[in-house]
Amino acid sequence: MIEDHVMKDMEVTIENTKKIFSTQDDVKYKVTLIRGEPELKVVIVYIDGMVKITSVNEDIIRPLNENPVFGSVATLQEAYRAALNGGIYHGNMVVISKMEELISTLLSGFSIVVFDELKTALAFETKGFEFRSVAAGQEENTFKSAKEAFVENVRVNVSLVRQKLKTRHLAVHEMDVGEKSNTTCSILYMNNICNEEFVNTVITRIKNIKQEDVLSMQDIYEGLVEHKYTMFPQSKSTESASVLCSSLMEGKIAILMNGIPYGLIFPTVFGDLFNSAFDYNINFALASFFRIMRYASFLMTLLLPGIYVAIAEYHPEMIPFALLNTIGASKAGTPFGTVMEVLLMSFTFYVLIQVSMQVPSSMGSAVSIVGGIVLGQAAVQAQLVSPGVIVVIAAASIAALAIPNKDANFATWIWQGFITILTAVLGLYGLTFGVILLLYSLARLESLGVPYLSPYIHPKKMQLEDSLVRFPLTDIQNRPTYLKPKIKERKKA
């Protein structure tokens, strides 16, 4: 095992390389003699599987042997110079002078031509990992919109974005994160729109990520957000290139990461959680209606079980007589109190959600049968739970799924449970108390300095043209002002 500090001072030789990669058998060493001359010996080092072998053959070995430039070289020094000056015709060449560089380029899928005696090397990009081809997304609604979703390769992903935004203003800032994983991150933004502050903050914060391995989006996310203790997402992840593009055009900043088929969009505010790409592909009136429905569903999820508990346990005077009697009749005869029933059913629901997340899809139908019929219908028939509670819990929990953002779904469920418990103790007052706490926890959040409750708390306008409702696209003239974009209007005046 070679220590890091020793490695720094090592010379670029094959021997050293072999020492360093003593336990890595996929590192291949191909000895090549230029023109077949034994004194002109170079070694090509690459990692099997990470390089495209045809590229190594065609772009490196063939020129070394056939390019007339090498015909006249007598020494290795001359050969090196010839190669440096384009003898090996390859677009991306890196001169290696330190062992460190050799290691990092090698691990990124470069093939390295080591001039052993000169203690130097040239690296050529011959990346050729196996990656998934671009296919339709699985998780987001792509009704009437582009189906292509991001893949694991960051280059491909950036190219997907480039294909949609053919402008010189699309800035792509690349960084490697993680000491060990050296994951490539691309920070994308429109340099004529996006607020400089965002860009600087994001870059500094990503630089400050001190983790060894950055393998998931969450690693970057947690390095970037100000408030780590909140359940509500402060960034939006998307698998659709077109969603990412439209966010960039609003003045937001996106982060793509190698190995992850999602893009992270910063800053994300509360209003964004309720927007879906779907909204921009249907008539504006429908979109507005659906958005309002989503907010209603959000409130329903949060408050319905609480309201039910409050009314059934504390404030029977607040419901109409007919309803009171119906619920009362269904309630009478079951063994537990309403609070217990609601908590029990909520718990069961959480369990079901967990199960459905963990089991493979082939077993999904079995789960739904057991969950739906046994836990719902049978519980009622056995008079364990009153049907009213089942209806309330089912409606409230399902309603959360209307929120397009998955992270927000989970957060809403947790808050629902919290508010329900508060209500169980204090009645309606507990409900309000829970809402105040929720409101507080949302109000103090800031995402990259943008208040989380934007656009609803924004001073000038509520940004009503694209928040609670959506106006016809032609009438959405301004970018969100809370992002403080450099160009405020969406179109040329």
Residue found under tokens 């309606």: 428
CB of 163 to another protein, least distance (A): 39
Q: Closer to another protein at the Cβ: 87 or 434?
A: 434
Cα dist. 178→131, 219, 220 in Å? Answer: 22, 10, 10
Q: How far is the CB of 439 from another protein (least distance, A)?
A: 5
Minimum gap (Å) between residue 388 Cβ and another protein: 9
To the nearest whole angstrom, how small is the minimum distance from the Cβ of residue 195 to another protein? 18
267: preceding bond cis by omega (within 30 degrees): yes
What is the pairing mode between strands 253-257 and 183-190?
A: antiparallel
Place of tokens 């490697």: 176
Question: How many residues contact another protein, by CB under 8 A?
Answer: 50
Place of tokens 């537990």: 336
Residue numbers 344-403 binding another protein by CB under 8 A: 380-381, 383, 387
Contact between residue 221 and residue 264 where contact means Cβ atoms under 8 Å apart = yes
Nearer to another protein, 224 or 312 (CB): 312
Site string for another protein, 14-43 (x = CB under 8 A): ------------------------------
Pinpoint the alpha helices (H) of 181-251.
Answer: 196-207, 217-224, 241-250
Phi, psi of 359 (to 5 degrees): -75, 150
Q: Give residues with Cβ within 8 angstroms of 354, minimum separation 6.
A: none
Q: Is residue 233 a contact partner of residue 465, using CB atoms and an 8 Å limit?
A: no
The CA angle 215-216-222, to the nearest 5 degrees, is 115
**What residues numbered 290-319 form the site for another protein, per CB under 8 A?**
307, 310-319
Instruction: Give the shortest CB-432-to-another protein separation in angstroms.
Output: 4
Q: Contact, 115 vs 250, CB < 8 A?
A: no
Cα–Cα dist 284/474, whole Å: 10
437 touching another protein, by CB under 8 A: yes
Nearer to another protein, 67 or 288 (CB): 288
Compute the least distance from the CB of residue 373 to another protein, in Å.
16
- One of 209, 391, 401, 435 touching another protein (CB under 8 A): 435
Q: Restricting to residues 319-338, name those near another protein by CB under 8 A.
A: 319-322, 324-325, 327-333, 337-338
Binding residues for another protein, rule: CB under 8 A, are 307, 310-322, 324-325, 327-333, 337-338, 380-381, 383, 387, 425-429, 431-433, 435-437, 439-440, 443-444, 451, 453, 456-457, 459-460
